[in-house]
Amino acid sequence: MSPKITTELLKQLRQVMKSPKYVQEPVQAYIVPSGDAHQSEYIAPCDCRRAFISGFDGSAGTAIVTEQHAAMWTDGRYFLQAAHQMDNNWTLMKMGLKDTPTQEDWLVSVLPEGSKVGVDPFIIPADQWKRMSKALRSAGHDLVPVKENLIDTIWTDCPQRPCKPLITLDLSYTGVSWRDKIVALRSKMAERKVLWFVVTALDEVAWLFNLRGSDVEYNPVFFAYAVIGMNTIRLFIDGDRMMDPAVREHLQLDSTLEPEFKIQVMPYGSILSELQAVGAGLSPKEKVWLSDKASYALTEAIPKAYQYLTPYTPICIAKAVKNASETEGMRRAHIKDAVALCELFNWLEKEVPKGTVTEIIAADKAEEYRSQQKDFVELSFATISSTGPNGAIIHYKPVPETNRTLSVNEIYLLDSGAQYKDGTTDVTRTMHFGTPSAYEKECFTYVLKGHIAVSAAIFPNGTKGHLLDSFARSALWDCGLDYLHGTGHGVGSFLNVHEGPCGISYKTFADEPLEAGMIVSDEPGYYEDGSFGIRIENVVLVVPAETKYNFKNRGSLTFEPLTLVPIQTKMIDVNLLTQKECNWVNDYHQKCREVIGAELERQGRHEALRWLIQETEPLIRVQ
Amino acid sequence: MSPKITTELLKQLRQVMKSPKYVQEPVQAYIVPSGDAHQSEYIAPCDCRRAFISGFDGSAGTAIVTEQHAAMWTDGRYFLQAAHQMDNNWTLMKMGLKDTPTQEDWLVSVLPEGSKVGVDPFIIPADQWKRMSKALRSAGHDLVPVKENLIDTIWTDCPQRPCKPLITLDLSYTGVSWRDKIVALRSKMAERKVLWFVVTALDEVAWLFNLRGSDVEYNPVFFAYAVIGMNTIRLFIDGDRMMDPAVREHLQLDSTLEPEFKIQVMPYGSILSELQAVGAGLSPKEKVWLSDKASYALTEAIPKAYQYLTPYTPICIAKAVKNASETEGMRRAHIKDAVALCELFNWLEKEVPKGTVTEIIAADKAEEYRSQQKDFVELSFATISSTGPNGAIIHYKPVPETNRTLSVNEIYLLDSGAQYKDGTTDVTRTMHFGTPSAYEKECFTYVLKGHIAVSAAIFPNGTKGHLLDSFARSALWDCGLDYLHGTGHGVGSFLNVHEGPCGISYKTFADEPLEAGMIVSDEPGYYEDGSFGIRIENVVLVVPAETKYNFKNRGSLTFEPLTLVPIQTKMIDVNLLTQKECNWVNDYHQKCREVIGAELERQGRHEALRWLIQETEPLIRVQ
């Protein structure tokens, strides 16, 4: 992977930062955040401005360009990748390390007195604007909104914003109609005494209307906003997608409806002016509810006194708790996904020793097997197919320049998942196709112990996920090992593979309490730079647990793995497991055999079934 | 314990809330926070305004009185106590429970439109003011500062503010002179480019000047503020304490000194006007550093543009990391403290069966044994001496009305500690003087497992304490049990028994990372309302750990118990311990025997030594 040469681009950007054509006053620094106008994690090509200016295309990062410097903040998943993709014009700021300055502190240290720092107000979330603005102001600088995106002005071949057809989801998938979701939302609005709710996150729009799209790769969403009043529904969306009879029928656009369920369709670009009109028409005590992560531009459309901002919206919270139809869909999706992976691993076991399978070939093969399954739509993220040292690049994606050949001498890490119409999957397995070293087995076993510690944890109803994060690290910590990423994230139901408001990470404190029906990943790892990467990831469902004393009827929770793919026993040092951990592995494999075995049988995939049986032989622990 | 009858007091308070003599405009609600003007946890009798108005005298709680309602917010430690101490005029708001409203939400729900909510600006921390003010404003109300404290206006027999003599501490106790502490502070100020630092917390003033006092019970502090400039030192303190030759010598008040170390002594009451003068004389870019927990009154003395607020001050952080002299002092203090407790428990073992020992007698006896030790100053908090159901009142303090007699049929919980000139102690032991039930032993053993899980935890340098909290709960959670308090708090060195910025609690995220030299408590518990309470608490020192791989030289940490008092083996169900846990108990008891045994021998306390030997017999686990 050779870095992108950005000398000329940075020169151009620095010119427009001073050009009266684009800025009222010159800006001495320009911030290029990661997201789009919806604060999406995965973004459309037209929104990949940070990657365009820097070359670094990981899913998280913020670039700041001043007259003299260019710096990139990203987290532990991307330290190696960012270092590889950026040229010498850029300084990498490793977030989470003690000596790394915050963006604000760094700006204050490098800017001349009384500087202006520019940012696109549609791209920066309101909460970040506020924090950044305050810190800069207290150091004598100003954060200023720059209406025209300065990257777009120098990005001559910027792709068009996508506008693809929509998919309608019926009750068998969603469990709840969009009308009932609107009713529930309005009741939450009434509770908080707000009159309007602005839906800005793309997955929240999709979930609310039981629609899916494909405007953004991997995330089945479409570009739209919605503004929900107590008696009105406005959907801001472009293109002729609303001409599709199935969509019209689904949204009952041509039916005679009670007025409060009549959807007014408006152009995507009119959201700001419409919201300003709403803001202008408010009486005292009338509030508008927005996420505090909504863009600064939309938030400022509502006068401050009328804003009601919360870190998580009621849609975000409702969406996280899957109903019975969604849970059953997720189970089905994970069974199909496991079938595909059994096929893949069986195939790899035979092919890798021939020396002909590269990381890209393996990733493509995984996609091929998945695409054979019913209701397959697309992958849920870029497949991380990595062998040997590439495995240590936590969110690696193989490209021709880095593409390594799988061998019997190196650890192979596959982190992959798919979107099926009935659910979203995300699974990581770490395999060795030869004989792993004692050290590799030792590290793998600690990671496994961490995975089990979370998966089998029992905790009181209402516990926040971040309180479970250390369980995943304890076995690694005992030996002086750790990993620089969180342990788990929420997973959508045929929606974004990363979703809030719950997760398992030392990095957040604002997560919502876990409750039965939530779905998260459990994915501890260990990474040895230049050598190998290990990660074991299941998607798990929060379920009630049975305990002796049941927290005085507060209720007990635990996790049930939805992912049912064998964990390679060859990589396990059984003597490092307790009997309880050993039983967990055997019980898990027994369930894989039963559930996935039956489906492999049903699909007539006999060779993969033989592989499954062999891989799920019980472990025996020598006392 | 009968509740305080507050009907008449509330009537009087509601009158002054409307009286033009005290308020510019009537206030519809009045907030009575827990703290004093220094946001102290332990406060002088003259500052116990919340206890005066409500009857509830726990260490944490906020009262709010409106024209119609009176409500009290407190946390899980105090639910039972508050319910007992308050009459029917009061509604108890149980913080931490899902359905309990925040103070802001509750106010918004009960206040008439456009209300004024009053509070003493010296008593409310700036960060709380800000949050409360914002929430009220967004609901159409106003938070207003009421200069004269309204409780004081109705508190006819309010005691005087104490003004007791000071103790000077020499280098053998503190390890660092006050001059060197000032130098270090100024270098932190230079790093952050601030010109002034305002010391508002009493323990920070005491630590900075190597002085101690006794203005507040249990906390060896004195009422004072300090304002440190780059070339000036101002100490705001009342009384003739500065006439004491030892203090004058210690502070070098009569020596010819470099001007930047010359201490200007000023009246305690002049802090606000002096600070306003500092604020008025600032040029742009000149900043004043305050804790964001400093009072609203002092914070507002500095114009907003010049304020530099942080959650933890550099003094708070420096104070938390004990140097070699302080650590050695803490070790000595804990050895003496253990001697006293061995005497006590040996005495209880003989006396309890006679049925003559009450909770108060036991607490007094503990104090008597402690006071026999060298450099004993006072207790470090009100002794929690509780038997049977009283043990479930987490911060119980025996009073004649509740005083139970210890018996061979009930669990006894003693949480106690002392201030010695060389260190502060805080230890909890839970004992049974007869035969504990299987259930009591089961619960005790889960608590012990949690205690060991924290104490023996190994974690990377820089880990925040809150990430260790769940380790203490895991064994309890597995059986559906939990406790409603944090697991540990920072402990001062002959200073406050509770101090920031580190701790082990699920409730905070803003704690500073643990580093070697910090001292915290490790005190999981389990409480069965109406039956018993169990808690096992050691004070532990953060020390480097040896691990196989040492986090790639990031360094490993663990804890070393400073408390060396036997844990009653009679209460342990050995079969619930792992071999590792069993070894931990035996190693711990071996150390108690060696270290405390030698001291008991040296002090000629042979009977207590025999008790120690008997109590530290190794556990044997049946495989």
Count CB-CB contacts under 10 A for residue A232: 15
- Residues in CB range of B101: below 8 A, 6 or more apart: B93, B109
**Among candidates B138, B460, B481 on the partner chain, residue whose Cβ is nearest the Cβ of A477:** B460
Percent of all residues in chain B with a pLDDT value above 70, rounded to a whole number: 100
Bond into B121 cis (ω within 30):
no
pLDDT tens for each residue of A165-174: 999 999 999 9
- A105 in reach of chain B (CB within 8 A): no
The pLDDT of residue B1 is 62
- B462 in reach of chain A (CB within 8 A): yes
The band of A352, judged by pLDDT with boundaries at 50, 70 and 90, is: very high
The band of A368, judged by pLDDT with boundaries at 50, 70 and 90, is: very high
pLDDT tens for each residue of A383-429: 999 999 999 998 889 999 899 999 999 999 999 999 999 999 999 99
**Among candidates A458, A460, A480 on the partner chain, residue whose Cβ is nearest the Cβ of B551:** A480
User: Could you give the CA distance from residue B318 to residue B181 in angstroms, rounded to a whole number?
Assistant: 9
Residue A283 tokens, joined: 């009486």
CB–CB of B138 and A308 under 8 A? yes
CA distances from A200 to A125, A204, A266, B67 (A): 11, 7, 15, 41
- B479 in reach of chain A (CB within 8 A): yes
CB–CB of A467 and B549 under 8 A? no
Say if residue B389's pLDDT is above 90. Answer: yes
Find, in chain B, the residue whose alpha carbon is nearest to that of A105: B192
Which residues of chain A make contact with B467, given a CB cutoff of 8 A? 469-470, 506
The pLDDT of residue A240 is 86
Instruction: Mutate one of A470, A526, A531 to test the B interface: name it (highest B CB count within 10 A).
Output: A470
| Residue in the structure block whose two tokens are 């309880």 | A580
- B98 in reach of chain A (CB within 8 A): yes
The pLDDT of residue B97 is 87
Which residues of chain B make contact with A473, given a CB cutoff of 8 A? 459
The pLDDT of residue B623 is 64
Which residues of chain B make contact with A470, given a CB cutoff of 8 A? 459, 467-468, 470-471
- B354 in reach of chain A (CB within 8 A): no
CB–CB of B457 and A468 under 8 A? no
Find, in chain B, the residue whose alpha carbon is nearest to that of A286: B139
Find, in chain A, the residue whose alpha carbon is nearest to that of B550: A480
- B459 in reach of chain A (CB within 8 A): yes
Say if residue A582's pLDDT is above 70. Answer: yes
- B308 in reach of chain A (CB within 8 A): yes
- A284 in reach of chain B (CB within 8 A): yes
Residues paired with residue A211 on neighbouring β-strands, in sequence order = A168
Average the pLDDT over A220-231 and give the result: 98
Say if residue B110's pLDDT is above 90. Answer: yes
pLDDT tens for each residue of B117-134: 999 999 999 999 999 999
Average the pLDDT over B430-452 and give the result: 98
- A376 in reach of chain B (CB within 8 A): no
CB–CB of A140 and B509 under 8 A? no
The band of B2, judged by pLDDT with boundaries at 50, 70 and 90, is: confident
A54, A4 in Cβ contact below 8 A? Answer: yes
Nearest-CA distance from B456 to chain A in Å? 9
Q: Decide which of B34 and A576 is more confident.
A: A576
CB–CB of A480 and B550 under 8 A? yes
Nearest-CA distance from A474 to chain B in Å? 8
Element (H, E) at A415: strand A411-416
pTM recorded for the entire structure: 0.92
Which residues of chain B make contact with A554, given a CB cutoff of 8 A? 482
pLDDT tens for each residue of A255-314: 998 999 999 999 999 999 999 999 999 988 899 999 999 999 999 999 998 999 999 999
pLDDT tens for each residue of B50-105: 999 999 998 889 999 999 999 999 998 889 889 999 999 999 999 988 889 999 99
- B482 in reach of chain A (CB within 8 A): yes
Residue A92 tokens, joined: 């990498």
Say if residue B556's pLDDT is above 70. Answer: yes
User: Could you give the CA distance from residue A560 to residue A53 in angstroms, rounded to a whole number?
Assistant: 43
The pLDDT of residue B98 is 81
Say if residue A16's pLDDT is above 90. Answer: yes
The pLDDT of residue A623 is 64
Instruction: Mutate one of B98, B131, B459, B558 to test the A interface: name it (highest A CB count within 10 A).
Output: B459
Instruction: Mutate one of B317, B455, B461, B477 to test the A interface: name it (highest A CB count within 10 A).
Output: B477
CB burial string A331-363: b at 16+ within 10 A, e below:
bbbbbbbbbbbbbbbbbbeebbeeeebbbbbbb
What is the amino acid identity at position B547?
Answer: T
Which residues of chain A make contact with B308, given a CB cutoff of 8 A? 138
**Among candidates A467, A478, A551 on the partner chain, residue whose Cβ is nearest the Cβ of B470:** A467
Which residues of chain B make contact with A480, given a CB cutoff of 8 A? 458, 460, 547-551, 556
- The candidate with the shortest Cα–Cα distance to A309, out of A148, A58, A126, is A126
Nearest-CA distance from B117 to chain A in Å? 18
pLDDT tens for each residue of B463-481: 999 999 999 999 999 999 9
The pLDDT of residue B557 is 98
Find, in chain B, the residue whose alpha carbon is nearest to that of A483: B551
The pLDDT of residue A77 is 80
- B549 in reach of chain A (CB within 8 A): yes
The pLDDT of residue A1 is 62
Element (H, E) at B365: helix B359-371
Residue B96, Cβ density class (10 Å: 0-12 exposed, 13-18 middle, ≥19 buried): middle
Average the pLDDT over A9-28 and give the result: 96
Give phi and psi for A473, each to the nearest 5. Answer: -100, -20
Nearest-CA distance from B178 to chain A in Å? 29
